[in-house]
Amino acid sequence: MLTWQDFIEETDKLGFISKAINQHTNSEQYKIAKMADEYDHQKNTTIYNYVRTIYTATGSEVVDFTAANNRIASNFFHRLNTQRCTYSLGNGVSFTDNKIKKVVDGVEQTIDTTGEMLGDEFDTDLKDAGYYALIHGVSFGFWNLNKLYVFPLTEFVPLWDEDTGALRAGIRFWQLDKDKPMTAVLYEEDGYTKYRGGRHSGNLNFAQVDEKHAYKTNYVYTEADGYEAIGSENYGTLPIVPLWGSKLHQSTLVGMQRSIDSYDLIRSGFANDLTDCAQIYWLLSNCGGMTEAELARFRDRLKIEHIAVVDTDNSAATAYTQDVPYQARQTYLDGIRAGIYEDFGGLDVHTISAGSTNDHIDAAYQPLDENADDFEYQVIKFVQQILSLMGIKDTPVFKRNRISNQKEQVEMVMQESAYLDNETVLQKLPNITVDEIPGILMRKGLDDTERFTIEQEE
Span 293-314, pLDDT tens digits: 877 777 777 767 667 777 666 7
Question: Quick one: angle between helices 76-89 and 257-276, nearest 10?
Answer: 140
Banded pLDDT at 354 (limits 50, 70, 90): low
**CB within 8 Å of 451: residues ≥ 6 apart:** none
**CB within 8 Å of 178: residues ≥ 6 apart:** 200, 201
Give the model confidence (pLDDT) of 319-332 as tens digits: 766 666 778 788 88
121 touches 147 (CB < 8 A): yes
pLDDT at 109: 67
Q: Is residue 250 scored above 90 in pLDDT?
A: yes
**CB within 8 Å of 243: residues ≥ 6 apart:** 129, 130, 132, 133, 138, 139, 140, 141, 378, 379, 382
HEC profile for 252-312? CCCCCHHHHHHHHHHHHHHHHHHHHCCCEEEEEECCCCCCHHHHHHHHHHHHHHCCCCCCC
Q: Is residue 280 scored above 70 in pLDDT?
A: no
Question: Quick one: angle between helices 28-40 and 76-89, nearest 10?
Answer: 90
pLDDT at 203: 65
Dist CA 88 CA 402 (whole Å): 9
Judged by average pLDDT, the poorest of 5-14, 169-178, 272-281 is 272-281
pLDDT at 372: 93
Banded pLDDT at 246 (limits 50, 70, 90): very high
405 touches 431 (CB < 8 A): no
**CB within 8 Å of 406: residues ≥ 6 apart:** 430, 431
Q: Is residue 143 scored above 80 in pLDDT?
A: yes
Distances (CA, A) of 101 to 107, 109, 112, 332: 10, 6, 9, 58
pLDDT at 311: 66
Dist CA 152 CA 160 (whole Å): 16
Banded pLDDT at 237 (limits 50, 70, 90): very high
Averaged pLDDT for residues 219-232: 66
Q: Is residue 278 scored above 60 in pLDDT?
A: no
Q: What is the mean pLDDT of the chain?
A: 83
Give the model confidence (pLDDT) of 110-138 as tens digits: 777 898 899 889 999 999 999 999 999 99
**Neighbour count for residue 256 (Cβ, 10 Å):** 19
* Burial class (CB within 10 angstroms; exposed 0-12, middle 13-18, buried 19+) of 373: exposed
Q: Mind giving me the DSSP string for 9-60?
A: H-S-HHHHHHHHHHHHHTSHHHHHHHHHHHHHTT--HHHHT---EEE-TTS-
pLDDT at 324: 65
**Neighbour count for residue 81 (Cβ, 10 Å):** 26
Averaged pLDDT for residues 170-185: 90
Q: What values do phi and psi take at 240, rounded to 5?
A: -120, 125
Give the model confidence (pLDDT) of 23-35 as tens digits: 999 999 999 999 9
Banded pLDDT at 349 (limits 50, 70, 90): confident
Give the global pTM: 0.78
pLDDT at 448: 57
234 touches 187 (CB < 8 A): no
Give the model confidence (pLDDT) of 400-415 as tens digits: 877 655 666 677 778 8
**Neighbour count for residue 391 (Cβ, 10 Å):** 7
Dist CA 260 CA 82 (whole Å): 16
pLDDT at 31: 96
Can you give the length of the chain in residues? 458
pLDDT at 362: 74
Q: What values do phi and psi take at 149, rounded to 5?
A: -105, 135
